[in-house]
Structure 1
Amino acid sequence: MKKKILVAVDGSVYSSNSLDYLIRLFRQDQNFSVDLLAAVSTCCGDQSWMSDIDTQRTESTVVLQRKAKATRYLKDAKSRLMRNGFPEEKITTFAHGSDEGITNSIYHFAKENMYDSLLVGRRGVGRVGEMLLGSVSSDLVKKCHEIPLWIIDGDVTSTRFLLAVHTCTHSLMAADHLAFILQNNPKAEIYIYHSLAAFGSTPPAETEEFHSKWGARWCDKHLDVGTCLYKAHSQILVENGISEERIVELPPRRGIHPSHDLLRQAKRHNCGTIVIGRRPRVDKGLLGGVSDRTTKNAQNMAIWLVG
């Protein structure tokens, strides 16, 4: 089955890290295609007056310069992918101009074109920097719930995945997304793990909540509510061509906060990517939920947020 990924590029080292991440994982996947997007702000600033006196000018010099840079970034990114095994026909480039801001431009482009996932590199400014200055990646974490969001921090070299599981529908949706992306991938290694929160926990979903997606018959056979759906998550992976030998079930453990525990387990088992199913948009308070805090504290790691 074909998979189509949107990658935001800006010519930075963080953008290059994102491309290298794709290369390590998917260059041999014939069903994998990549759309490269360079979002360009068309806010004219103090040169907007030039279009009033020059009727032939439709964009300011600043905007034209931004688009020229974006075109170079896209060309370099495409060449990088092609040099490392991606066929040219599997790569498409877009320089997308918008006056709504870079984050909104990327988000709306991804949403309108219904991509299987959106990938962005993180600048690694840390929690304080993000709170004071904001960043494209942190803003996308807040906005992008309709499309799985992949956040790449630093140089991610491991091809192992840590799948965070819980007794809820969005957790199985994360497994479903992971299974689809890694479908028939002979190198995929997935560690299934449930982190026990020391201070409270989300109550498990009712069995009927899973029926609309997976059906009552499948749920009756595979839905192991009493063991945090370890069996159900594994079953979804196996049904999509991932061999049982490449699936490892780690025993649940208790930590101060699940986000720190997930990061610790990922490092312990040399997993380069953590996959998390997150709840629909809700107010999670100042500190955020598990997915938010895991993303903020990840270093040299990729976080996939599904839901």
Structure 2
Amino acid sequence: MEKKILVAVDGSVYSSNSLDYLIRLFRENQDFKVDLLAAVSSSDYEQNWMAEVDSQRTESTVVQQRKARAGKYLKDARSRLIRNGFPEKNITSCVHASSKGISNAIHNFAKENMYDALLVGRRGVGRVGEMLLGSVSADMVRRCHEIPLWIIDGNVSSTRFLLAVHTCTHSLMAADHLAFILKDNPKTEIYIYHSLAAFGSTPPNEAEKFHSRWGAKWCEQHLDIETCLYKAHRQILIENGISEDRIVQLPPRRGIHPSHDLLRQAKRHQCGTLVIGRRDRVDKGLLGGVSDRTTKNAQNMAVWLVG
């Protein structure tokens, strides 16, 4: 099944790190589609002044220059992917100008086009200053809940994934997303881990809350709330095409805060990507705080936020 990923590009080294991450993991996947997006601001004093004296001129020289630079960034990014094995037919690119802010433009573009994931390089700053993926990544963590968000920090070389498991529906959805992305990628391994946080833990979802998505029969057979849904997460991975020999179950451990513990376990087991299912925006419970803190503190690691 085709996977469609939107990648924010700004010409920075951090944007290049994101491309390298894709190359390392997915260049051999023929069904992996990559859309490169360079978002630029269309707001400019010169543009507003020109509109008053000449209604036919809709873009200022400054905005045109921004779009031209963005086009060069996209061309370079596309060439980089093709040189490293991505089929040319699987790559598209687009410059998108918006007056509503870079992060808002990227977020809306991703929602409108129904991508399977949105990838953003962390701390990226474009050479001319108007494309700021550093602030964009932080903003995306707050606003992007409809689409899985992949935040890449630094150089990520490992093909191991740490799946943070918890007794909630969004955690199982994260397992489902991970399996969908990785099922045709035999070089990857998935480590399943539950953090026994000393502070801030929340009660598990009741079994009935899982029925609407997975059905009462499946839940009765596989839902193991008493053991943090280790069995349920493993079952979802296997049912979606992940072979059992690619799944490693780590024993739960206790830490002061789950975000610190998850990052520590990821480094301990040499996992380059940490996958977290998070609750809705209005919920400030365990996983909401975990996703925020984990993303802020991750170094040379990718964090996938699902939910």
TM-score scaled by structure 1? 0.94
Partner of 1:131: none
Partner of 1:85: 85
For residues 172-218 of structure 1, the C-alpha deviation after alignment (integer angstroms, 9 at most, x for no partner) is 00000000111232112000000011024110111111111111111
Asked if residue 104 in structure 1 is aligned to residue 104 in structure 2, the reply is: yes
After the TM superposition, which residues 149-298 of structure 1 pair with which residues of structure 2 at under 5 Å, given as runs? Answer: 149-282=149-282, 284=284, 289-298=289-298
> Is the CA contact 1:124–1:154 (under 8 Å) kept in the aligned structure 2?
no
1:136 is matched by which residue type in structure 2? V
The CA RMSD over aligned residues, in Å, is 1.5
For residues 81-120 of structure 1, the C-alpha deviation after alignment (integer angstroms, 9 at most, x for no partner) is 0000001110010101110000100000001111000000
Distance across 2 between alignment mates of 1:168 and 1:248:
20
Partner of 2:141: 141
Tell me the secondary structure at the aligned position of residue 7 of structure 1.
strand
2:177 is matched by which residue type in structure 1? H
Partner of 1:13: 13
Structure 1 282/97 Cα, relative in aligned 2: closer, same or farther at 3 Å?
Answer: same
- Once the two structures are TM-superposed, the CA of residue 124 in structure 1 deviates from its matched residue by 7.4
For residues 130-161 of structure 1, the C-alpha deviation after alignment (integer angstroms, 9 at most, x for no partner) is xxxx8110000000000000000000000100
Distance across 2 between alignment mates of 1:86 and 1:238:
27
- Once the two structures are TM-superposed, the CA of residue 52 in structure 1 deviates from its matched residue by 3.3
For residues 262-305 of structure 1, the C-alpha deviation after alignment (integer angstroms, 9 at most, x for no partner) is 000000000000000000002649xx700000000000000000
> Is the CA contact 1:18–1:119 (under 8 Å) kept in the aligned structure 2?
yes
- Once the two structures are TM-superposed, the CA of residue 51 in structure 1 deviates from its matched residue by 3.7
Partner of 1:63: 63
Tell me the secondary structure at the aligned position of residue 95 of structure 2.
strand
> Is the CA contact 1:164–1:194 (under 8 Å) kept in the aligned structure 2?
yes
Q: Count matched residues.
A: 297
Distance across 1 between alignment mates of 2:213 and 2:151:
26
> Is the CA contact 1:40–1:67 (under 8 Å) kept in the aligned structure 2?
yes
Distance across 2 between alignment mates of 1:223 and 1:51:
61
1:75 is matched by which residue type in structure 2? K
Distance across 2 between alignment mates of 1:47 and 1:35:
29
Tell me the secondary structure at the aligned position of residue 150 of structure 2.
strand
Distance across 2 between alignment mates of 1:181 and 1:209:
25
Distance across 2 between alignment mates of 1:303 and 1:270:
14
After the TM superposition, which residues 109-124 of structure 1 pair with which residues of structure 2 at under 5 Å, given as runs? Answer: 109-123=109-123
Distance across 2 between alignment mates of 1:198 and 1:107:
35
Distance across 1 between alignment mates of 2:15 and 2:185:
24
1:211 is matched by which residue type in structure 2? H
Partner of 1:38: 38
Distance across 2 between alignment mates of 1:72 and 1:294:
33
> Is the CA contact 1:184–1:240 (under 8 Å) kept in the aligned structure 2?
no
- Once the two structures are TM-superposed, the CA of residue 46 in structure 1 deviates from its matched residue by 3.9
Distance across 2 between alignment mates of 1:124 and 1:36:
15
Query: Which deviates further from its counterpart, 291-300 or 241-250?
Result: 241-250
> Is the CA contact 1:159–1:189 (under 8 Å) kept in the aligned structure 2?
yes
> Is the CA contact 1:234–1:247 (under 8 Å) kept in the aligned structure 2?
yes
1:236 is matched by which residue type in structure 2? I
State, as a whole percentage, how many aligned pairs show the same letter: 80
- Once the two structures are TM-superposed, the CA of residue 56 in structure 1 deviates from its matched residue by 4.4
Structure 1 159/195 Cα, relative in aligned 2: closer, same or farther at 3 Å?
Answer: same
